[in-house]
Amino acid sequence: MQNPLPENIYLKRKEEKDAPIRGAYFRDQTAIIHSMPFRRLKHKTQVFFAPENDHVCTRIEHVLHVATIAKSICLGLNQYDWDLDADMAFAIGLGHDLGHAPFGHEGEYFLNKRLGGGNAFIHEINSYRIVEHLANNGKGLNLTYAVRDGIISHNGESFEQYLVPDDKEKDLKQVKNRKIKPSSYEGCIVRFSDKIAYLGRDIEDAITAQFIQRTDMPIYIRTGLGEKNSQIIDNLVNDIINHSLESDRIGFSDERFELIKILKDFNYKHIYNNPKKERNRLVAGKIIYALFDYLLILYTKYEKDYEAYEKQSLKMEKAFGLYLKAMHNFYMDEDDPEQMVTDYIAGMTDSFAMDCMQQISFPQSSFS
């Protein structure tokens, strides 16, 4: 099975380069891995905010899970005369969540709300914005169309049984919502791999956080998918391979898809919407709102007077000025104060956001 678009479209970059000896999509992988937004994922929440616990999943662990699951599915289907590029899928998996705000989906929710709601801030679109524009001090990562398309189309919150790639090339900069499909089978596979990666892993973290016990999982989930993350991944990866190998679409069997929906509902009820998470959710909102308003007022006052930021007393004020200075060339063409503040906050790690909040909330010693 082959992708619907000509290969030259998938390989297209903003700045064309000679084909690298390592391969186009392996080049994309290394560009993502060496970028600052990727490094910051290790200090960004996946579901549970727990910086003191080394065993709770962070965003960087999640994207590695997604990338390896997607590559496994590609390699499995290639044994049955599919023609999938595992390096492309791996690159999409690595980059798909670069645009997440601090504090996970709570941070995304409150940042979107502060901007007016609707589709004002969507992490999939922000991930594309990062790889296309913001990374590398406003130069972007110059990734292939295939990888950029897979990133912006991954839609982590949708649950379909099947996917067939979009057979038309998109103008990615015009994408404003999640109502799109990937243009490659590899992108479709990453979209499924995202769910496979987090449904089981979030249960492990919920058990560690004492939100649930393993025996709370419905018996038909434990017997049909497994009660451990590794078992759930293995069952769903094999199901998607076996059910797609003689088809022109990627998807799950009827039986497994019904179990996935039950598991999703269980996770939402007992994990994502658990009352125990409410305090962290409210704290995340308070931090996002406070930082947004503070930085917007700061920018309104000093705009692009970089020396003025350097003279301020707070480290976070100086840091914001340094960010604006580094992004000077990019923001010359895109001078929207709210967008600049959004870019900066969305790029923060959880710990940096909390440190900034502490700086603006508590007075400093006059003798420090």
CATH number for the domain harbouring residue 26: 1.10.3210.10
Check whether residue 76 and residue 36 sit in a common domain: yes
- C-alpha 258/C-alpha 161 separation (Å) is 9
- Where b means 16+ CB within 10 Å and e means fewer, 321-344 reads bebbeebeebbeeeeeeeebbbbb
Place of tokens 């959004």: 342
- C-alpha 353/C-alpha 340 separation (Å) is 16
Is 2 within a domain? no
Q: Is the pLDDT of residue 48 over 80?
A: no
Residue-wise pLDDT tens digits, 269-284: 999 998 988 888 999 9
Check whether residue 182 and residue 303 sit in a common domain: no
Output DSSP code: residue 216: G
Check whether residue 207 and residue 353 sit in a common domain: no
Average pLDDT, the chain: 93
Q: Is the pLDDT of residue 208 over 60?
A: yes
Strands (E), the chain: 162-163, 250-251
- C-alpha 252/C-alpha 264 separation (Å) is 15
Residue-wise pLDDT tens digits, 144-171: 999 999 999 999 778 899 999 999 999 9
Q: Which two tokens stand for residue 260?
A: 């996935």
Check whether residue 34 and residue 142 sit in a common domain: yes
Percent of the chain with pLDDT strictly greater than 70: 96
Check whether residue 341 and residue 249 sit in a common domain: no
Q: Is the pLDDT of residue 318 over 50?
A: yes
- C-alpha 91/C-alpha 26 separation (Å) is 7
Give the structural domain span for 337.
277-361
Domain boundary (276, 308, 330) is at 276
Length of the chain: 368
Check whether residue 168 and residue 316 sit in a common domain: no
- Structure confidence at residue 365 (pLDDT): 53
Q: Is the pLDDT of residue 53 over 70?
A: no
Is 107 within a domain? yes
| Number of domains observed in the structure of the chain | 2
* Contact of 160 with 200, CB cutoff 8 Å: no
* Contact of 24 with 9, CB cutoff 8 Å: no
Check whether residue 164 and residue 234 sit in a common domain: yes
Is 367 within a domain? no
Check whether residue 262 and residue 284 sit in a common domain: no
pLDDT band at 367, cuts 50/70/90? very low
